[in-house]
Amino acid sequence: MIAFVEGNGVLTEDQHGFRTKKSTETALQAFTKSVQEAIENKLNPTGIFLDLTKAYDVLNHRILLSKLESYGIRGVTNRWFESYLSLQKQCVEINSRKLGTYASTTRAIAHGVPQGSILGPILFLLYINDLPLNVSESNMVLFAGDTNILISGENLNTVQLRLNNVMMDIQRWFTLNNLIINAGKALAISFHTSQNKKPVRPHVQLEGKAVPYNTDTKFLGVFIDENMKWTKHIRYLNSKLNTSLYKIRSLKNVTNIHVLRTT
């Protein structure tokens, strides 16, 4: 299935998760390039960072099967996936020293795809594959369920209008596809040069609530700030390396090289 999807160009180029020749590195490169190009062209880029709640657990099977069919996975193969999804079951088991083992009634799983399986990640990618097609006036970078949207414009009014349209498109798509955005983790960053003391910060609203602006965020393991400087990430790496070095120095005289390599 992975060969079919990759070989036929089914997946959007905006998706960098669980794909051959794509990674967190390519996602970060795509994102930083878009931001830097916007700043160089004297535009005002605003980044919106979104996270999904229980992404794998809430996928609608009917919608997923319909999307598989639209991507060319039809007939017997589509029915096989229907059987694969519908036959998943789960129960809760509790082990107690005093009371012994107790298991709840086994029930069929009506939503979601199995985590930790080979098919789980590719099915999830296909489920959210059409998201960029339904959101205009923006650049999007996806890494599995991590969603980053960049909106740029010449002035506040232009950025605000585009951003309003984008947020409406986003919320409409997520509602139609029964996915849930973790509104509590959503944040915005207004990217600009350090010389710009009055950056454009349009109002960002999600589910009726204002999305807060941050000066920096950790995106796919790397700290990115509003001026596209790497000072915070360098300090973060320096702290981690100093901690590791301290552990190695403390243990080097009491253990062997094999243990030190796993410290």
pLDDT of 36-46, one tens digit each? Answer: 999 999 999 99
CB atoms under 10 Å from CB of 258, counted, come to 7
Share of the chain above pLDDT 90, in %: 74
Structure tokens belonging to residue 97 = 């020293």
* pLDDT value for 149: 97
Share of the chain above pLDDT 70, in %: 99
Place of tokens 């060969």: 3
* pLDDT value for 102: 81
* pLDDT value for 202: 97
pLDDT of 153-200, one tens digit each? Answer: 999 999 999 999 999 999 999 999 999 999 999 999 999 999 999 999
Distances (CA, A) of 193 to 36, 141, 196, 222, 248: 10, 22, 5, 19, 40
Give dist(CA 115, CA 258) in Å, integer: 33
- In order, the DSSP letters of 114-157 are -TTSSHHHHHHHHHSTTTGGG--SSEEEEETTEEEEEE--SSHH
Give dist(CA 214, CA 96) in Å, integer: 46
β-pairing, 209-210 with 89-90? unpaired
CB atoms under 10 Å from CB of 120, counted, come to 16
pLDDT of 69-91, one tens digit each? Answer: 999 999 999 999 999 998 778 88
Which pTM value belongs to this model? Answer: 0.88
* pLDDT value for 196: 94
* pLDDT value for 191: 98
* pLDDT value for 263: 64
Give dist(CA 123, CA 119) in Å, integer: 6
pLDDT of 54-64, one tens digit each? Answer: 888 999 999 99
pLDDT of 191-225, one tens digit each? Answer: 999 999 999 999 999 999 999 999 999 999 999 99
Structure tokens belonging to residue 75 = 């007939």
Task: Flag whether pLDDT at 244 surpasses 90.
Answer: no
* pLDDT value for 115: 77
Altogether, the residues listed in the chain come to a count of 263
Which tops the pLDDT comparison, 29 or 257? 29
